[in-house]
């Protein structure tokens, strides 16, 4: 505990020092504009920053725990793994496989609080009015700012009770950008279950000497030496070689099968560094620069690229192959070896933390398959809507065209986004919990690593969304009364992406600093 506390205190100290100016500005910005408004409570900077940064992280985990038991899918240890991360580098991906070396570790919420002498129990439902400011007066200076363009919507909901505390244009359907991934995550987990795994296999066609590399749609399959817990193409090749040697086979015709998915592989946005062609067989998302997240130049044909890498691995092990070409494994094909992805819960967390478009589109197609739809962009979109409708979520005005949010024709409402987060905390749906645990942590992980460093670091957990002219933010925040809130902010027609992003961050920080009525 001492080691954990010592590891975290410097981060909190920096937050205390850095937060002062911004909290002061926010306090001034939300000061009542009329003597008839309730007098705001004084919030000392050191109390807000240090207290919220520790208690906020713990409460976010604590309320979720109260909402239902963890599944046997790795989620029970997801936060505990953060304590172990203090012994090593990493943490940009919640301690999950694929964490890049040298990344700053994000502290585990319950151990951090315990190490600082606190408790880890959850806060109960919101009680009566606490004498704080009204939420509209707190948020209006930010949500009405010109930086948010000509159209915006917002909603705030108490996550433990489902009570909506604030809404403006909350039923207006706007372009959600990457906050669409929250919907994709809920739909995929609902359709497939948090324990579901995606399997890639190598199969031998009898009497032909043909080995078929069969894609199972795993977007996290890797050909790199350090698989770090993800499915490894090298492991699959080693197993295939072993099985071939047992049959005294040393030369094969190599093919690859991508027929699990249908339709066009290219996203409607066209060739783009933010996403590779969507195929049932890919290694390292078709990246050409060794990266694991973010924009990167991609190969034109990820399936052929993965098969070529597989062929090279077989050749290195002494099995001669032909140049691989497309094919389809027959029902008579004998499986030689398989590798499987981590559970779907881990894929969802990685998708949300890093805003991974490739995983998002793969999960949309897997949801389509589980829902009886064709594994296409259109089928995935229909399947997402179907799964959300089954959950009783408010779909009025919503329109899905992909799973990633890259399609500008997607439409979601603030009501739907907050409802998705509330559903993820529902005791009746414990398998949806990765939607909450996968949200980036402000100032610590994923797409929020470099945001909120002078504001509500550790208190806000949110999915970001950015397209040209569109800025969105949806997630959870702990207010000064210790209540866990879900929020969604959407803005369209923005002209300065950086200023719009900062304005949304300020709105979330103001929400965290509020003990509002």
Catalytic residues: 178, 181, 355
How many angstroms separate the CA atoms of 167 and 156, rounded?
A: 6
Closest CA to 79 of 59, 118, 107: 107
Regarding beta strands 210-214 and 251-257, do their DSSP bridges make them parallel or antiparallel, or are they unpaired?
Answer: parallel
Give residues with Cβ within 8 angstroms of 222, minimum separation 6. 230, 231, 232, 233, 283, 284
Q: Are 435 and 424 in contact, with CB atoms under 8 Å apart?
A: yes
How many angstroms separate the CA atoms of 375 and 218, rounded?
A: 14
Give the three-class secondary structure for 491: strand
Closest CA to 202 of 340, 339, 335: 335
Q: How many C-beta neighbours within 10 Å does residue 2 have?
A: 7
Q: Which residue has the tokens 């990246």?
A: 287
DSSP, res 288? S
Give residues with Cβ within 8 angstroms of 167, minimum separation 6. 154, 155, 156, 414, 415
Closest CA to 482 of 96, 223, 158: 158
44 Cα distance to chain centroid: 33
3-state secondary structure 302-349: HHHHHHHHHHHHHHHCCCEECCCEECCCCCCCEEEEEEECCCHHHHHH
3-state secondary structure 384-451: HHHHHHHCCCCCCCCECCCCCCCCCCCEECHHHHHHHHHHHCCCCCHHHCHHHHCCCECCCCHHHCCC
How many angstroms separate the CA atoms of 348 and 8, rounded?
A: 27
How many angstroms separate the CA atoms of 266 and 377, rounded?
A: 9
User: Six-digit token pair at 73?
Assistant: 């899918």
Output the DSSP codes for 341-377: PSPHHHHHHHHHHHT-HHHHHHHHHHHHHHTT--SSH
């Amino acid at each position: 505990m001492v080691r954990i506390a010592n590891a975290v205190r410097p981060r909190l100290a920096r937050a205390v020092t850095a937060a002062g100016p911004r909290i002061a500005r926010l306090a001034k910005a939300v000061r009542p504009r009329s003597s008839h408004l309730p007098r705001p409570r004084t919030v000392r900077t050191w109390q807000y920053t240090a207290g919220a940064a520790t208690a906020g992280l713990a409460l976010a985990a604590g309320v979720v725990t109260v909402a239902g038991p963890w599944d046997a899918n790795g989620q029970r240890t997801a936060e505990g793994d953060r304590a172990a991360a203090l012994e090593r580098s990493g943490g940009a991906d919640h301690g999950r496989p694929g964490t890049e070396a040298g990344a700053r570790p994000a502290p585990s919420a319950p151990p951090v609080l315990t190490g600082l002498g606190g408790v880890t129990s959850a806060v109960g439902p919101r009680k009566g009015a606490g004498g704080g400011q009204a939420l509209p007066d707190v948020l209006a200076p930010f949500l009405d700012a010109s930086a948010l363009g000509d159209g915006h919507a917002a909603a705030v909901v108490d996550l433990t009770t489902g009570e909506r505390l604030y809404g403006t244009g909350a039923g207006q359907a706007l372009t959600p950008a990457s906050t669409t991934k929250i919907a994709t995550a809920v739909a995929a987990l609902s359709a497939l279950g948090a324990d579901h795994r995606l399997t890639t296999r190598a199969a031998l066609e009898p009497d032909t000497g043909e080995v078929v590399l069969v894609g199972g749609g795993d977007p996290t399959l890797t050909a790199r030496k350090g698989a770090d817990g993800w499915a490894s193409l090298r492991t699959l090749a080693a197993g295939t070689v072993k099985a071939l040697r047992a049959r005294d086979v040393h030369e094969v015709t190599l093919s690859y099968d991508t027929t699990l998915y249908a339709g066009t592989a290219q996203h409607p946005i066209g060739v783009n560094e933010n996403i590779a062609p969507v195929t049932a067989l890919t290694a390292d998302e078709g990246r050409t620069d060794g990266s694991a997240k973010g924009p990167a130049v991609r190969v034109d044909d990820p399936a052929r690229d993965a098969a070529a890498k597989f062929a090279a691995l077989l050749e290195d092990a002494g099995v001669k192959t032909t140049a691989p070409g497309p094919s389809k494994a027959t029902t008579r094909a004998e499986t030689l070896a398989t590798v499987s992805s981590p559970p779907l819960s881990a894929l969802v967390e990685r998708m949300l933390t890093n805003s991974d478009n490739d995983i998002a589109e793969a999960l949309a197609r897997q949801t389509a398959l589980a829902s009886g739809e064709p594994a296409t962009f259109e089928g995935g979109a229909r399947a997402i809507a179907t799964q959300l409708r089954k959950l009783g979520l408010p779909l009025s005005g919503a329109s899905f065209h992909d799973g990633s949010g890259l399609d500008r024709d997607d439409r979601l409402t603030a009501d739907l986004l907050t409802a998705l987060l509330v559903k993820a905390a529902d005791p009746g749906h414990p398998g949806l919990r990765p939607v909450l645990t996968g949200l980036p942590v402000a100032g610590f992980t994923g797409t929020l690593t470099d945001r909120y460093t002078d504001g509500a670091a550790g208190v806000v957990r949110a999915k970001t969304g950015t397209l040209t002219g569109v800025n969105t933010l949806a997630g959870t925040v702990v207010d000064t009364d210790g209540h866990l809130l879900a929020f969604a902010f959407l803005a369209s027609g923005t002209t300065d992406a950086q200023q719009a992003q900062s304005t949304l961050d300020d709105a979330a920080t103001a929400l965290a600093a509020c003990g509002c009525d």
